[in-house]
Amino acid sequence: MDYHKELILILDFGSQYTQLIARKTRELGVYCEIYPFNMEREKIIAMKPKGIILSGGPKSVNEDDAPVCDKGIYNLGIPILGICYGLQLTTLFFGGKVEKSAKREYGKAHISIDKKDKFLEGIKDGDIVWMSHQDKVLKIPKGFVTLAHSDNSPYAAIRNEKGTIYGVQFHPEVHHTPKGKTILKNFLYKICGVKGLFSPKSFIEMATKKIRDEVGDEIVVCALSGGVDSSVVAALIHKAIGDKLRCVFVNNGVLRKDEGQEVMEIFKDRLHMNLKYVDAEEKFLKAFRGVRDPEKKRKIIGRLFIKIFEEEARTIGNVHFLAQGTLYPDVIESVSHKGPSAVIKSHHNVGGLPKRMKLKLIEPLRELFKDEVRIVGKELGLPDNIVHRQPFPGPGLAIRIIGDITKERLQILQEADSIVRDEVERNPKFKHIWQSFAILIPVKTVGVMGDERTYANVIALRIVESEDAMTADWARIPYDTLDIVARRIINEVPGVNRVVYDISSKPPSTIEWE
Ligand code: XMP
């Protein structure tokens, strides 16, 4: 069944939780998409959504430049749920009153039910909800009824008499509202009347059909890196079109230890994909000679990769499509994700590739969030060590070898990094860690091993927790683990006599050192 038929639209008024609303909705088996708050009524009608959710937002509804939705959406007969700002906007639109309270209500609150309603089925007096607002509804509009209140919010949940428009002052999408998912589920299933057609299985079914229709008998080429996104893209397209998918794995020399063999073993031997291994290590190392500047390293990697990949694609011949692992967060025109984000590091960018090669893009993961990509990958039979892999930067170890990249320095880092992987990334105890890796610092220090004085390299450890890489904090790893990692690196990696732990957060530092 086509889950697009049960589309829920989320209009984004700039809340930091907008993506969370979407993820919770999808976890409940309902497909949804996020659009800017001012999406026009006609566009909405054309998409035939089963329901609309108005997100929260940082503004006050009474401000002159407060964001407003197309007022025509309220008379479409499509169920609407306003969350926080969404509730306040709806209240104001129908003639109620919203005012700034002297005190911001932030944190836990207990709600009391005023009127039984299917929207709050499963919720009882005293249940905890999460509040985060300054404005509050002082008077609800005519034609609306109160479903619940809290100590500070007399109108914590309301609806219109017809039961098509709902609003909550609290945030059902955050996990601090323990029964928030029940409330969202009630809205989706009992009010919007969905059946819940969205699942990893239904996604795979739809996506493979779409890929087949789009590709026909043509050839698709995919640059497989072994990262989560490119791996799932490859597995999905392979399921759809088999050998018409040609994968290319370029060993650029700055991969983690044994990465190349692992990728070949999984994708070629186990999943029987048409995968070509290109050993370009020497070419890359030659290009890195004498280069210390991180941005130059990135540019070299990007350019050389494109050149090599293009050459390979040409040898395949008659390629029409290029597969790419674009995800939903890259697609959303989200209000909360716009704004001045300075480019601090030029990310390894092969975005120019399809244009140069005159290829059509195929991006089958455009609808998915990262956690959904992992679930789809698992469903497609990819092993855990692929789907739960930590992010790894395109420029690889090149930006973790501070200064000159030589074969010898590369080997030192690969060995040290492999120990960190063993002890942290592969240890289920540290599943919550965002990234954990080693960095080779261009400094030698004195040590003593046995009776001998040594003068050798320093390895830094970077282990961070993060939600999205925009901010990060150093992980409070147990001392015992740090101790094991440091001892193993110093004992097992020739040329290293000291290990230090990076305790800086992002910002002001970054996750990578270069
Ligand atoms: P920073 O160091 O900016 O990293 O805090 C944020 C996230 O991005 C990754 N990163 C890169 N990924 N090409 C990539 O594909 C790059 O040039 C690059 N630089 C950083 C980094 O590993 C972290 O996950």
393: in domain = no
What single-letter amino acid sits at 514?
E
Residues 65 and 168 in one domain: yes
b/e per residue 307-317 (b: at least 16 CB within 10 A) = ebbeebbeeee
Q: What is the pLDDT of residues 89-126, one digit of tens each?
A: 999 999 999 998 877 888 999 999 999 999 999 999 99
Q: Coil, helix or strand for 454? A: strand
H-assigned helices in 56-198: 85-93, 180-185
CATH code (residue 102): 3.40.50.880
> What's the 419 CA to ligand 1 centre distance in angstroms?
21
| Ligand 1 atom nearest to 392, measured from its CA | 22
> What's the 328 CA to ligand 1 centre distance in angstroms?
18
Average pLDDT over residues 2-17: 96
Residues 486 and 439 in one domain: yes
The residues that are catalytic are 84, 171, 173
Which residue, judged by its Cα, is nearest atom 17 of ligand 1? 347
pLDDT, residue 354, reads 65
Average pLDDT over residues 355-361: 83
| Residue to mutate (ligand 1; options 511, 513, 514; most atoms within 8 A of CB) | 511
| Residue to mutate (ligand 1; options 347, 400, 417, 466; most atoms within 8 A of CB) | 347
Residues 26 and 167 in one domain: yes
Residue among 352, 343, 427 at smallest CA distance from 385: 427
Measured from CB, residues less than 6 Å from any atom of ligand 1 are 298, 344-345, 347-348, 391, 393-395, 435, 469, 506, 510-512
506: in domain = no
36: in domain = yes
What is the 8-class DSSP label of residue 318?
Answer: S
Residue that finishes a domain, picked among 165, 191, 217: 191
Q: In which element (H, E) is residue 248 found?
A: strand 245-251
Residues 357 and 434 in one domain: no
| Ligand 1 atom nearest to 466, measured from its CA | 24
Q: What is the pLDDT of residues 459-486, one digit of tens each?
A: 999 999 998 898 999 999 999 999 999 9
> What's the 205 CA to ligand 1 centre distance in angstroms?
33
> What's the 222 CA to ligand 1 centre distance in angstroms?
22
Residues 332 and 433 in one domain: no
CATH code (residue 300): 3.40.50.620
Higher pLDDT, 476 or 356: 476
Contact 195, 7 (CB under 8 A): no
**Domain around 463:** 402-501
513: in domain = no
CATH code (residue 472): 3.30.300.10
Between strands 274-279 and 319-323, the pairing is unpaired
pLDDT, residue 125, reads 98
Average pLDDT over residues 323-333: 89
| Ligand 1 atom nearest to 506, measured from its CA | 5
Residues 36 and 64 in one domain: yes
Q: What is the pLDDT of residues 20-64, one digit of tens each?
A: 999 999 999 999 999 999 999 999 999 999 999 999 999 999 999
What single-letter amino acid sits at 254?
V
Of the chain, the percentage scoring pLDDT greater than 90 comes to 89
Structural domain total, the chain: 3
Residues 207 and 176 in one domain: no
Residues 275 and 339 in one domain: yes
0.85 cut: is pTM over it? yes
In this predicted structure, the answer to whether residue 276 has a pLDDT above a threshold of 50 is: yes
Residue that finishes a domain, picked among 321, 352, 387: 387
325: in domain = yes
In this predicted structure, the answer to whether residue 403 has a pLDDT above a threshold of 70 is: yes
| Ligand 1 atom nearest to 434, measured from its CA | 24
b/e per residue 482-506 (b: at least 16 CB within 10 A) = beebbebbbeebebbbbbeeeeeeb
